Structure 1
Amino acid sequence: MGLFDKIFKRPGPAGAPQGYFKTLTAYTPVFTTWGGQIYESELVRAAINARATHISKLRVQVQGSAKPKLQTRLRTGPNEWQTWGQFLYRLSTILDVNNTAFIVPVMDDYMEVTGVFPVLPTQCQIVQYNDEPWLRYQFRAGQFASIEMRYCGIMTKFQYEDDFFGTDNSALRPTMELINIQNQGIGEAVKSAATFRFVAKLNNFSSTKDLAKERDRFTRDNLQNGEGGILLFPNTYSEIQQIKSAPFVVDAEQMKLIQTNVYNYFGVNEDVLQNKAYGDKWSAFYEGAIEQFAVQFSDVATKMLFSERERAAHSMVMATANRLQYMSNAEKLNVSAQMADRGIMNRDEIREIWNLPPLPDGQGQAYTIRGEYYLLGTDGSVTKKGDDLTSGT
Structure 2
Amino acid sequence: MGRISIFQRIFGKAKPPESGVARAEIIGGGNSFAAWSGDAYSNDIYRSAVDAIARNAAKMKGSHIIKYRNHERAEGDCRINRILQIEPNPYMSAFDMLYKLITHYYLYNNAFAYMQRDERGQLAAVFPLNPVHAEFMSDAGGVLYVRFIFSGGKETLLPYSEIIHLRRNFNGNDILGDPNDALSPALQLAHTQNEGIISAIKSGASLRGILRRTQIASPEMLKQIKDNFVKDYLDVTNNGGVAAIDSGSEYIPLDNKPYSIDEKQMQAVKDKIYNYLGVSEAIVNSSYNEDQWAAFYESTIEPLSLQLSLEFTRKLFNDRERAFGNSIMFESGRLQFTSNATKINMIREFMPMGLLTVNQALEILNLPSVENGDRRIQSLNYVDADKAEEYQLARAKAPAVLSAASGEGKGAADNE
TM-score by length of 2: 0.83
Partner of 1:72 in structure 2?
Answer: 78
Asked whether the equivalents of residues 380 and 392 of structure 1 are also in contact (C-alpha less than 8 Å), the reply is no
From the superposition, tell whether residues 268 and 104 of structure 1 become closer, same or farther in structure 2 (CA, over 3 Å).
Answer: same
Aligned counterpart in structure 2 of residue 292 of structure 1, from 303, 328, 333: 303
Aligned counterpart in structure 1 of residue 248 of structure 2, from 236, 239, 257: 236
Partner of 1:32 in structure 2?
Answer: 34
Partner of 1:268 in structure 2?
Answer: 279
Partner of 2:215 in structure 1?
Answer: 204
Asked whether the equivalents of residues 376 and 382 of structure 1 are also in contact (C-alpha less than 8 Å), the reply is no
- 1:214-253 C-alpha deviation (Å, 9 max, x unpaired): 4223223222466732433322234x43234444442011
- 1:24-58 C-alpha deviation (Å, 9 max, x unpaired): xxx22110001111111111111001110111111
Aligned counterpart in structure 2 of residue 321 of structure 1, from 303, 325, 332: 332
In 2: Cα distance, 1:145 partner to 1:56 partner: 28
**Structure 1 residue 175, shift from structure 2 partner:** 1.0
In 2: Cα distance, 1:227 partner to 1:118 partner: 54
Find the structure with the greater CA-based Rg.
2
User: How many percent of aligned residue pairs carry the same amino acid?
Assistant: 24
List runs of 5+ in structure 1 lacking aligned partners: 384-389
Q: Is the partner of 2:329 in helix, strand or coil?
A: strand
In 2: Cα distance, 1:374 partner to 1:227 partner: 83
Aligned counterpart in structure 2 of residue 6 of structure 1, from 6, 9, 27: 9
From the superposition, tell whether residues 87 and 213 of structure 1 become closer, same or farther in structure 2 (CA, over 3 Å).
Answer: closer
In 1: Cα distance, 2:333 partner to 2:293 partner: 12
Partner of 2:361 in structure 1?
Answer: 350
In 2: Cα distance, 1:268 partner to 1:227 partner: 45
Normalized per residue, the structure richer in helix is: 2
List runs of 5+ in structure 2 lacking aligned partners: 69-73, 397-416
Q: Is the partner of 2:22 in helix, strand or coil?
A: coil
- 1:53-83 C-alpha deviation (Å, 9 max, x unpaired): 11111121111299x9993222112323233
In 1: Cα distance, 2:203 partner to 2:285 partner: 32
2:28 is aligned with 1:17:
no
2:379 is aligned with 1:370:
yes
In 1: Cα distance, 2:236 partner to 2:45 partner: 41
Asked whether the equivalents of residues 127 and 136 of structure 1 are also in contact (C-alpha less than 8 Å), the reply is yes
In 1: Cα distance, 2:228 partner to 2:289 partner: 63
**Structure 1 residue 91, shift from structure 2 partner:** 0.7
Partner of 2:347 in structure 1?
Answer: 336
In 2: Cα distance, 1:237 partner to 1:382 partner: 110
* Deviates further, 343-352 or 246-255: 246-255
From the superposition, tell whether residues 12 and 374 of structure 1 become closer, same or farther in structure 2 (CA, over 3 Å).
Answer: closer
In 2: Cα distance, 1:391 partner to 1:307 partner: 51
In 2: Cα distance, 1:376 partner to 1:313 partner: 30
From the superposition, tell whether residues 211 and 391 of structure 1 become closer, same or farther in structure 2 (CA, over 3 Å).
Answer: farther
RMSD: 2.6
From the superposition, tell whether residues 321 and 121 of structure 1 become closer, same or farther in structure 2 (CA, over 3 Å).
Answer: same
Asked whether the equivalents of residues 186 and 272 of structure 2 are also in contact (C-alpha less than 8 Å), the reply is yes
- 1:251-284 C-alpha deviation (Å, 9 max, x unpaired): 0111110000011011111111122224222111
Partner of 1:186 in structure 2?
Answer: 197
**Structure 1 residue 167, shift from structure 2 partner:** 1.2
Equivalent position amino acid for 1:216 in 2 = K
Q: Is the partner of 2:23 in helix, strand or coil?
A: coil
Asked whether the equivalents of residues 66 and 75 of structure 2 are also in contact (C-alpha less than 8 Å), the reply is no
Q: Is the partner of 1:368 in helix, strand or coil?
A: strand
Asked whether the equivalents of residues 107 and 115 of structure 1 are also in contact (C-alpha less than 8 Å), the reply is yes
From the superposition, tell whether residues 77 and 96 of structure 1 become closer, same or farther in structure 2 (CA, over 3 Å).
Answer: same
In 1: Cα distance, 2:126 partner to 2:21 partner: 27
